[in-house]
Amino acid sequence: MTPDPFDDRKARAAAWFRQLRDRIVAAFEALEDSHGTGKPGRFEVTPTTRADGGGGLMSVMRGGRVFEKVGVNVSEVHGTLGERAQKAMAARGVPGMDRDPRFWASGISLVAHMQNPHCPAVHMNTRMFWTPNAAWFGGGADLNPALEYPEDTAHFHAEMQRACDAHDPGYYPRFKAWADEYFFVPHRGRARGVGGIFYDDLNTGDWEADFAFTQSVGAAFLPAFLPVTERRIASPWTEADREAQLVHRGLYAEYNLVYDRGTKFGLETGHDANAVLMSLPPIAKWT
């Protein structure tokens, strides 16, 4: 059998997502330890499986002084897309889904819900998706504060722009606008946070360049998020602040359950439901 010329690229992408996962988990555990009460903050790591092929790692830390709940998942899955997923892919312009619905996908997905209401929740993911007729990258990161500080928003966006500008000066304005559109909650008439960047179906014809950009987005996450968290972690907060945080989490949960592409894809293709729904907050409120 002739080897798939993409096999090496798949392996490299999956290895990068795992390395990024390890780096972020170590940084978050160190942050929890440095601000904790003496009890080490550690992720609980659970292997995940997909019945039709592949799996990953679900890593979750709960109940810390810094993180009320944070999950960092990686996956590498493969199989055949069902009819509904095929139609969704075809609608997005993926060629050949009616002829060969095989797929392979790998990526990292992260969501952090913080203890202190002054610390913003955050999301980041990057991924590679392959079919026999197309391969592309997607991902992004966005900040979701209940209590917004303009300087935090500016810092987060500056780091995302730095990652984009290193590859194409047109990427940041394009992907910021895409994030503003994508992370909008239509039934509430508002954004779920203060944005960031979002991109999907990235295939410029230069796989190495697209992979390098996706690596830059992932590598920008810790410099974008950690300084914001360190700045707010010791801020005193009131019950009104906590109420605002919990109501904002309700908005976040609504978005992820109704609109998020990754949630829909994960559930429709049979991935571990607990891993797919890791992004949901531990406690939320609705007014």
Residue 166 lies in a domain: yes
Q: Which CATH number characterizes residue 84's domain?
A: 3.40.1500.10
**Is 78 designated active site?**
no
DSSP for 190-228, please give it.
EESSSEEEEEEEE--S-HHHHHHHHHHHHHHHHHHHHHH
Q: Using the predicted structure, report yes or no on whether residue 245 has a pLDDT greater than 90.
A: yes
Looking at residue 71, its pLDDT comes to 97
Ranges 69-73, 132-136, 248-252: which has the least confidence: 132-136
Looking at residue 84, its pLDDT comes to 80
- For 122, the enclosing helix (H) or strand (E) is strand 121-131
3-state secondary structure 35-52: HCCCCCCCCEEEEEECCC
Cβ neighbors of 221 (< 8 A, separation 6 or more) are: 24, 110, 124, 141
Looking at residue 46, its pLDDT comes to 95
Tokens 């914001």 label which residue? Answer: 228
Residue 1 lies in a domain: no
Domain range for residue 45? 7-279
Residue 284 lies in a domain: no
What SS3 class is residue 270?
coil
Q: Using the predicted structure, report yes or no on whether residue 268 has a pLDDT greater than 80.
A: no
Q: What is the mean pLDDT of the chain?
A: 92
Residue 150 lies in a domain: yes
Closest CA to 250 of 99, 173, 146, 100: 146
* pLDDT band of 133, cuts 50, 70, 90: confident
Ranges 25-39, 47-61, 171-185: which has the least confidence: 25-39
Q: Using the predicted structure, report yes or no on whether residue 88 has a pLDDT greater than 70.
A: yes
Ranges 58-72, 112-126, 141-155, 268-282: which has the least confidence: 268-282
Give the whole-angstrom CA distance, residue 153 versus residue 79.
Answer: 39
Q: Model-level pTM greater than 0.85?
A: yes
What SS3 class is residue 241?
helix
Report the amino acid identity of residue 117.
Answer: P
- Across the range 76-101, mean pLDDT stands at 82
Residue 2 lies in a domain: no
Q: Using the predicted structure, report yes or no on whether residue 3 has a pLDDT greater than 70.
A: no
pLDDT tens sequence across 64-77: 999 999 999 999 99
Looking at residue 2, its pLDDT comes to 61
Structural domains counted in the chain = 1
Residue 285 lies in a domain: no
Q: Which residue has the higher pLDDT, 263 or 203?
A: 203
DSSP for 141-190, please give it.
EEEE-SS--HHHHHHHHHHHHHHHHTT-TTHHHHHHHHHHHHTEETTTTE
Residue 183 lies in a domain: yes
Q: Using the predicted structure, report yes or no on whether residue 216 has a pLDDT greater than 90.
A: yes
Looking at residue 41, its pLDDT comes to 76
Residue 287 lies in a domain: no
- Which residue is catalytic, options 35, 113, 118, 123? 123
Looking at residue 91, its pLDDT comes to 83
Closest CA to 132 of 7, 228, 12: 7
Contact 192, 252 (CB under 8 A): yes
What is the share, in percent, of the chain residues with pLDDT greater than 90? 75
pLDDT tens sequence across 21-53: 999 999 999 999 988 665 677 999 999 988 788
Residue 134: count other Cβ atoms within 10 Å of its Cβ. Answer: 16
- Across the range 167-185, mean pLDDT stands at 97
